[in-house]
Amino acid sequence: MNKLSVSQISTLRWDLEADVHAYYERGFRGIGLYRPKVEDFGVERAAELLAEYSMAATSLSWAGGFTGSDGRTFEDAVSDAIAAVIQAAELGAETVIILAGGKNNHIKNHLRRVLYQALCRIAAVASEHGVKVAIEPFHPGCGEEWSFVNDFDATLDIIERVDNPALGLVLDTYHLGMECDIAHAVADIVPHLHLVQLGDGRHCPHGEMNRCLLGDGRVPLTDLMDLLFRNGYQGPLEVELIGEDVEHLGYDSLLDHTRAYLSHALPLHC
């Protein structure tokens, strides 16, 4: 059975303790950790709280920005990513999510070289600590400042070049689930797939991320999940909901709808 999880970004205004209580009450046994919340709560206390509820940390978000698009130097970004890997090990988090960084006026070859150099160092540390790291490709319509990696081909290329089993990818269905060629890519990505994030949207990403309730948008979630399962994916399913279409909802309502949707759409995996 695939572990069901909720990203803390979905309940951004709650603290870690409130998140854990609310997710656990609804039968979720996984949590996607958000670094600012963990650091506010304290890493050691967070690890103790997760152990108390037997809740698995399916991910830790985020690290990256190696291109300088967020104002940091390359070395600062790599050092921060390594710190995130060590933090993940302390928390028992399975995967650190990596965002490559925006183009920042660099040429393509330089961007690829910078990312390769960063990921080689980070994956080596991850291997030593028993943690996975995963690149998340972002749809270019809403993520140019976050990542120049926008599709499966570019993601698989860098994974193969680094050639470290600790390095894989995150499939966020909001970003790439509406792409017409995703069905053809599934067989290639599953062997490298560390995490699936479930998101839906009423239109292709454009501007700020705007996810809607699962099942209310254009992402063929049930078909896509069935395809992933048939190709052997057995990892976590982590829900991430954020944007104008859900921000007016109370977090309790959002979580209740999410749990009901998953129980109906994925009964054999819940």
Residues 6+ apart with CB under 8 A from 68: 74, 77, 101, 104
pLDDT of residue 270: 56
pLDDT of residue 188: 95
- Could you say which DSSP state residue 3 is in? P
pLDDT of residue 175: 94
List the pLDDT tens digit at each of the 270 positions of the chain: 579 999 999 999 999 999 999 999 999 999 999 999 999 999 999 999 999 999 999 999 999 999 988 889 999 999 999 999 999 999 999 999 999 999 888 888 999 999 999 999 999 999 999 999 999 999 888 877 889 999 999 999 999 999 999 999 999 999 999 876 788 899 999 999 999 999 999 998 888 899 999 999 999 999 999 999 999 999 999 999 999 999 999 999 999 999 999 999 886 565
pLDDT of residue 135: 97
pLDDT of residue 156: 96
Residue 60 in contact with residue 91, Cβ under 8 Å? yes
Beta bridge partners of 101: 147
* Integer Cα distance of 209 and 211 in angstroms: 6
* Integer Cα distance of 123 and 136 in angstroms: 15
pLDDT of residue 269: 61
pLDDT of residue 266: 82
pLDDT of residue 256: 98
Domains, the chain, ranges and CATH? 4-269 (3.20.20.150)
pLDDT of residue 4: 95
Q: How many CA atoms lie within 13 A of 263 on its CB side?
A: 9
pLDDT of residue 190: 97
Three-state SS sequence of 84-128: HHHHHHHHCCCEEEEECECCCCCCHHHHHHHHHHHHHHHHHHHHH
